[in-house]
Every structure is written in C-alpha cells, then in structure tokens.
Amino acid sequence: MRELHDKVAVVTGSSRGLGRAIAVKLASLGAKVVLNYRTNKAAAEETLDLIQKAGGQAIVIQADVSSFEQAQHLIQGALEHFGRVDILVNNAGTTRDTLLVRMSEEDWDTVIDTNLKGTFSCCKAALRTMLKQRFGRIVNISSIAGVGGNAGQTNYSAAKAGMLGFTKALAKEVGSRNITVNAVAPGYIPTELSSSIPAELLAKGIELMPLGRPGEPEDIANAVAFLVSDEANYITGQVLCVDGGLVTTA
C-alpha cells in the first residue's frame, strides 16, 4: 500500500523513538519525509538510512522547534526541497521530571517550550502552505499524562494537556480548508524518553492496563498513519489514546 505517495510529511523529533517509527512508517506508505533532530545528528542519519534502504525518500533538517525561528527554518527547508508540506507530526518532546516543590523554573520552561510551544511554532509555520493547498493533516503527539496527569510530571502533564486543547481549537479554525488536526496520546512505550520512569511505577501501570503489556513505537506509528490517511478524512479535533486501555481504568 502506497497511499501517501504524493504527500510530504514533516516529523519533528524523528531521530529516534516514536518519531523514528512514525517517519519510517509514513515513508513505507510512500510519503517523502522530512526528518528533524535537535542535537543527535548521527541518530537522525540512522533514521534516514533506514528509510533509504527500504526505497523511501527523506531528508534531514536540524532545528530546535522550541525556537519559533528554527521551526520556520524547518518548514521552509521542507518547502524548498519538496515544494509542499501535506503532513505535520509534532512529536518532538522532552521531560524534566521532579516533584513540583523541587522543580526549577528552567525545568518548567524547557518542557513547556519544547512540547507545547514547539507544536504552536511548527503548526503556525506549516499552516500558510496548507491553507493555500486547501489540504493538510496535522497530528500532535500528546500523552496520557496530558489526559490524567502524572505525579512528578506537572510540567510534562501541563504541556501535553495544553496540546490537547490546542488540537481541538485549531481543528475548528482550519477545518473549512480541508485540514484535519488530531492528537495521539501514547501510554507507556519503551523509548529513551520514557527510560527514566521508576521500575515500581512502571510495574503498577502495566498491572492496570487491560492488555497487560507496554506498547511498541510501531503502535503509535500505525495510529498516526491512519489519522493522516484518506480513511480518516472525516476525523478532526479528536484524541486517540494508544495505551493498552490504561485511561479506561484510571
């Protein structure tokens, strides 16, 4: 199936983890993919190699999406190379986990700027071309922390919850131009970003999951692939929890 063969997709934070899985999946469906990294160039080039060896097309652009100017640079680079942007996946994220009483202002600002401001910046930069095209698919990678909150993650939970409100509001603004905006809220998916979760907390979370196991990055990639496909062209402003059923038990 090559249903995205005429589409260009920008995936932020796609050097590893969920972003890598999403980028590889979209490329396998025929999309031309713009990979993005902040500091780990080698990892981004590994993702590029995976896509190219499978016969896909991709380029790599360095940008820190917490900066509005760099987010614009990312989208402009995509336009200069491929001529359009059809799909935007806001996946770039970071954590600075600690209890609020110990949280520094820097811990707060870093997480809000990368997760929430980065989503704003990339959407704003990409919307100009999507509005002209009268077509666009935006998927924001939130978290179940944004749905139910997590102790020790007030900054992360606030940022991810903010992404959900942002998703719903933007969907109402741009729907008339055939642009859909949805969010995916992953549960526990083993990645470098989630490796700091204490073992006892992880074990308790898995125990509460109806499916009784962690997910895989490919589970998130498959959800994103659906939301940007033609099969989902009447779905917008929605939050899809991909979490093994955890939020139904919380």
Q: Residue 189: CA atoms inside 13 Å, Cβ hemisphere, count? A: 26
Amino acid making up residue 37 = Y
What is the C-alpha to C-alpha distance for residues 13 and 209, in angstroms, rounded to an integer? 27
Closest Cα to residue 170, out of 137, 132, 134?
137
The phi and psi torsions of 109 (rounded to 5 degrees) equal -65, -40
DSSP 8-state code for residue 165: H
156 catalytic residue (yes or no) = yes
Amino acid making up residue 48 = L
Please pick, among 37, 156, 188, 234, the residue that the annotation labels catalytic. Answer: 156
What is the C-alpha to C-alpha distance for residues 204 and 222, in angstroms, rounded to an integer? 26
- Alpha carbon of 167 to those of 119, 123, 202, 247: distances in Å? 10, 10, 28, 19
Active site residues per annotation: 156
